[in-house]
Structure 1
Amino acid sequence: MLRCMIPLHHSENQMRAALVALALLIPIPALAGQPVSLEALCFTPGGDCTGVIVDQIGKAQRQVLVQAYNFTDAAIVKALIDAKRRGVDVQVVIDRVNVCAEDKPVCRASGAVAAGLITRAGIPLSIDRKEKIAHNKVMVIDGHRVITGSFNFSQSAQKANAENLLVIEDEATARRYAENWRAHQGHSQEYQDR
């Protein structure tokens, strides 16, 4: 089910993103024989990608694994906290740019606020400092759904940037993303709220 469609007048970047999304529907050897469903496809400007993410988190029943470069959107943070309160296992790994980067003297205030809200809600949050940039934008939901794309979990992604977001329904794909999430979480440091 597609929730956000390509506008009739779309940019070259949006066309490239649409082609990438269509390419995901082509069988690849690692997943051959297994149907992969594109649950949603969204673009900004024009689409409510934040709404798609919040809706998907709201459907979570067991687990949400988050891996994010920019993690500042209040609606997404609230949806994750609400999921935790419903009994969903929520775990987050973010890039260091959200709190304090070693190469920058100033913390990104909204990222530190989001990290603090998440940890005070009892959600484990780790900072990935191993890579120069931990640039993933991924959520794995209930072991069978993946949210990914260029869309950062931020207001800028929704309101100011040209971005894309895919929601893929497939256990094998979700398993691969969850394995990658665990690898990054394994070398990340637990965040200590100040």
Structure 2
Amino acid sequence: MPLYCGLVLLCAACDVAPPQAQPTVLPAAGDAAIQVFFTRPQDPDDPGRHTDGVDQYVIAAIENAAISVDIAAYDINLQSVTDALLAAKLRGVLVRVVTDSDNLGRSPIAQLRSVGITVTSDERTALMHDKFIVVDGAIMFTGSWNPTDNDTWRNNNNLLRITAPPIVQNFVVEFAEMLQPAGFGPRSPATTPFASTAVDGVLVETYFSPEDGVAAHILGELRSAQHSVHFMAFSFTRQDFADVLLERVAAGVSVSGVFEERLLSEQGRKVFERLRSAGVAVLADGNRYTMHHKVFVIDATTVVTGSYNFSASAEDSNDENVVILHGPALAGLYETEFDEVWARAARAAVP
């Protein structure tokens, strides 16, 4: 199956397929401050080929942890990550987990608790939907990926590895907030220390929901589009996002997107049909499992990604995290991923 390969500044593609989930690196070889990985769902899934997944990069960081591992994830059931966390705890690393209360019954959670790992949940109807991991206060992973079997092997996901200290610190602060009594939902304080910072020529914005008004920031990016907007949406029910996309279409901007087919329920279908009836190129995804991205790519220079679905609950009640990255090299990698997801959706749409 096709994969991206090579360094961002050295080559855009190559003919020899590298191992599954090989990283694409920004901006050069070595310990780059920002790296991005994409899952490669198998169709159909074959457990016998569950090797070289995106989890390997998280596991490597956990295995090298000397002080702490903090993980905030909606769901955790991937045994490889669970084993790495258990081993870290047993060698004296401080391991802390925050997850959604709906998923506390998972067997891996019981395994973690059995060795004394603290597991905190939100205990709310709304979701603790964040997806980030901080290792030693120095390495941070985020994106659409949960450490689960489905998200690693079957679903389309993206995972960023970031080592820039200001950005990592944003997530250190957010994790600490969730350990406090008022740390979830609308009561969570807006205390992000470095909401906007430059990393190797890439401007990175960090926002948390619901306290940071994420929708307004995304709407601002969409309104700035001059040439193109490409999106991959697990859930897209926000009419205000659709409003702005249609405004940009009227201004001559090319807009196209892929929706997760299973989420085209009543509200999702309304947005899908509204865009399609206005001439926007939209498709239902072609992954028999799940297209789990929550991504906008704007003018091939800006990427919006994270845990935040394009929904009211993501804005108003769930705990979510978003990064907005301004840089053409990084955006180009997400454009390539969009092309892959679009092509798969187009093949599935052919009778």
User: Scaled by the length of structure 2, what TM-score is found?
Assistant: 0.44
Give the distance between the partners of 1:47 and 1:91, measured in 2 at CA. 27
In the superposition, relative to structure 1, how do residues 35 and 188 fare at CA in structure 2: closer, same or farther (>3 Å)?
Answer: same
- Count of residue pairs brought into register by the alignment: 167
Partner residue of 1:37 out of 203, 206, 209: 203
Counterpart position of 2:211: 46
In structure 2, the residue corresponding to 1:47 is in which secondary structure? coil
Aligned partner of residue 290 in structure 2, secondary structure: coil
Aligned pairs for 1:32-111 (under 5 A) are: 34-38=200-204, 40-99=205-264, 108-111=265-268
Identity of paired residues, percent? 25
In the alignment, residue 252 of structure 2 is paired with which amino acid?
G
Over residues 6-60 of structure 1, what are the superposed CA-to-partner deviations in whole Å (9 max), with x where a residue is unaligned? xxxxxx677947844795354xxxxxx952220x211112111111111100001
User: What is the SS of the residue equivalent to 2:207?
Assistant: strand
Which one of the candidate residues 304, 310, 313 is aligned to 1:156?
313
Larger deviation, residues 44-53 vs 15-24: 15-24
Q: Structure 1, residues 51-91: CA drift from partner, whole Å, max 9, x if none?
A: 11111000010000000100111111111111111111000
- Tell me, in whole angstroms, the C-alpha distance in 1 between the residues paired with 2:210 and 2:329: 31
Q: 1: distance between equivalents of 2:259 and 2:132?
A: 27
- Residue 180 (structure 1) aligned with residue 345 (structure 2): no
Contact 2:286 2:341 in 1 (8 A): no
The structure with the larger Rg is 2
Q: d(CA) in 1 for partners of 2:235 and 2:335? A: 19
Aligned to 2:162: 24
Counterpart of 1:179 in 2: which secondary structure?
helix
Structure 2: gaps (5+ residues): 1-97, 100-129, 135-139, 143-159, 165-198
Which gives a bigger RCO, structure 1 or 2 (Cα 8 Å, sep 6+)? Answer: 1
Distance of 2:288 and 2:308 partners within structure 1: 20
Q: Which residue of 1 aligns with 2:271?
A: 114
Distance 1:16 1:135, change over 3 A: closer
Kindly tell me: are residues 191 and 82 of structure 1, through their superposed partners in 2, closer, same or farther at Cα, counting changes over 3 Å?
A: farther
Decide whether aligned partners of structure 1 residues 138 and 16 sit closer, same or farther in structure 2, where only a CA change above 3 A counts: closer
Q: Specify the code of the residue in structure 2 equivalent to 1:182.
A: D
